Amino acid sequence: MSLTILNALVAVVAAIAFAALNAAYLVWAERRGAGRIQRRPGPNVNGPLGLLQPPADGIKLMTKQLMIPGGADKALFMVAPVLAMAPAITSFVTVPFSDTIVAHSMNIGVLMIFAFASLGGMAILLAGWGSRNKYGVMASVRAVSQNISYEIPMLITVITIVMMSGTMNLKELVGAQAGGIWNWNIVPSLSSPLMPVSFLIFFICSLAETNRAPFDLGEAESELVAGFHTEYGSMGFGLFFMGEYANIVIGASLITILFLGGWDCPLGLFPGVWWFLLKIYLLIFSFIWIRWTFPRTTIYGLLNLSWKILIPISLFNLLLTAGLLKVF
């Protein structure tokens, strides 16, 4: 019994450490990457290659005073940032990094991650509402409608994959794709010819779910100042920021597990955690790349894209796959 508790403790600490480290250094990577894209150096003063920038930022954020605006709902205002960060970290518990490195392999892994991802929208809603700021409220209304409309095509795509693999366990999902690139879910097979389209839908939805540009309508700085975190300073803002990056890692991990064969090597050789990390960081790099190259969409354009294009296509794919699975 005590061994189980110890195991759980180690797993939780490892998950938090991984999430926090990633969040901190992804900020650095994003700023360096943005610098490269924009022909400027990016942070390069603190430490070699600016590697000490994240700790410096962290110390700055932690030592600042947490201001609560007058008239704000104190409880909601304080809870929201924690609610943004905590579910993202909790999701790491069930993510399998390789055959052996997984904190807790659950039979409902996919469902659990989506359940926690939905809590992220809740955090944004509470933050906007609790801070009693008109920009905040407008931004949270946007962010929530965005999150709801993008979870639907995402889940339909996941149902398609679950139907093909016959499992909701993330580890078994990867196991079903083992043995090289031709077994991965992204490659169209006889029973699922539209899989690359599904991948694209899922990728777009992940961008929207994590509130990243070009879908960063919740914090559209040219209209809504800073959106839902307008009133947040110090570590309140820091937690939102880290939560965003933790969510990006979760999103990239999910894409890798569902479509890109997890820790499987493209040629079927030396599968292991390095392949998993390589894939998620490539995906994260593409997230960063997209953010710094595209302008922002409009809220109605965004919702139209989801309800008029993504949902019909993903539904069609679901029906097609279901029918073909019955035939073959």
Partner 1 sequence: MSGPIHIRPDETFTLNVGPQHPATHGVLRVKMEMDGEYIVKAETVLGYIHRMHELMGENRTYPQVLPNLSRLDYLGALGYTHGHVLAVERAAGIEVPERAEYIRAITVELNRIASHLFWFGAFVMDLGGFTPLMYAIEDREYILDMLEAVTGSRLTYCYYRFGGLYNDVDDDFIAAAKAFIPRMRKSLKKYDALVTGNIIFRKRLEDIGPISAEMCRKYGATGPVARGAGIDFDVRKNEPYSVYPEFDFDVPVYHECDSLARYKVRMDEMEQSLRIVEQGLEKLPDGPIMPKKAPKLIKPPAGDYYQAVETARGSFGIRIVSDGTKNAYRFKLRSPTYSNMSLFDEACEGMMIMDALAMMGSLDLVIPEIDR
Q: In the set 19, 213, 255, 284, which binds partner 1 (CB under 8 A)?
A: 213
Residue 13 or 308 having the CB closest to partner 1:
308
Nearer to partner 1, 244 or 264 (CB): 244
Q: Which is nearer to partner 1, 24 or 302 (CB)?
A: 302
Q: How far is the CB of 125 from partner 1 (least distance, A)?
A: 15
* Nearest-approach distance from CB 38 to partner 1, in angstroms: 4
Contact 108, 97 (CB under 8 A): no
Structure tokens at 55: 């700790």
Cβ 131 to partner 1, closest distance in Å? Answer: 12
Answer for the pair 206, 284: CB distance below 8 angstroms, yes or no: no
What's the closest the beta carbon of residue 54 comes to partner 1, in angstroms? 21
| CB within 8 Å of 256: residues ≥ 6 apart | 262, 276, 279, 280, 283
If the CB atoms of residues 147 and 321 are measured against partner 1, the closer one turns out to be: 147
Query: C-beta of 34: minimal distance to partner 1 in Å?
Result: 8
From residue 270 to residue 299, the character string flagging contacts with partner 1 as x (rule: CB under 8 A) and all else as - is ----------------------xxxxxxxx
To partner 1, the closest distance from the beta carbon of 323 in angstroms equals: 33
Contact set for partner 1, span 30-69 (CB under 8 A): 34, 37-40
Query: Binders of partner 1 among 114-153, rule CB under 8 A?
Result: 132, 134-135, 138, 141-142
Number of residues located near partner 1, criterion CB under 8 A = 31
Q: Find the shortest distance in angstroms from Cβ 80 to partner 1.
A: 17
Nearer to partner 1, 58 or 69 (CB): 69
Q: 215 to 234, contacts with partner 1 by CB under 8 A?
A: 216, 220-223, 225
Q: How far is CA 54 from CA 30, 43, 63, 107, in A?
A: 11, 10, 14, 36
Tokens representing 83 are 């609610």
Question: Which residue, 316, 309, 319, is CA-closest to 163?
Answer: 319
| Identity of the residue, 25 or 292, whose beta carbon is nearer to partner 1 in the bound complex | 292
Phi, psi (5° rounding) for residue 227? 65, -135
Show the binding pattern over residues 82-101: x = contacts partner 1 (CB under 8 A), - = does not.
--------------------
| Burial class of residue 110, CB neighbours in 10 A (0-12, 13-18, 19+) | buried
Nearer to partner 1, 218 or 271 (CB): 218
Binding residues (CB under 8 A) for partner 1: these are 34, 37-40, 70-71, 132, 134-135, 138, 141-142, 213-214, 216, 220-223, 225, 292-301
